[in-house]
Amino acid sequence: MQQMSLENLVQYISPQWLHLLKTVERSQFVVLRNGIQKVNEADVAEIMGAVIQEHTKETLYQ
């Protein structure tokens, strides 16, 4: 297993997507079961979506 920030993962796999993440989302740590070598763009998109959705739950609307 490998732990790294989402920012580093996106920068390594799909750097063109980095602008889609807020600072707090970029600093989120993710655990890669089989290491970064087994991760592809579809995996990164799924991980990014989950992190964005998780941080959206914390947003309060008035």
Residue 30's pLDDT is 96
Element (H, E) at 23: helix 23-26
- Domain assignment present for 15: yes
The range of the structural domain enclosing residue 6 comes to 2-56
Q: Per the structure, how many domains does the chain have?
A: 1
- Pairwise CA distance, residues 57 & 8, whole Å: 23
Contact 20, 48 (CB under 8 A): yes
Question: Quick one: how far is CA 17 from the chain centroid?
Answer: 10
Question: Quick one: how far is CA 35 from the chain centroid?
Answer: 14
Please write the tens of the pLDDT for every residue from 23-61: 999 999 999 998 899 999 999 999 999 999 988 876 666
pTM of the predicted model as reported, rounded to 2 decimal places? 0.85
Instruction: Indicate the pLDDT class of residue 11, thresholds 50, 70 and 90.
Output: very high
- Domain assignment present for 61: no
DSSP E strands in 1-62: the ranges are: 2-5, 29-32
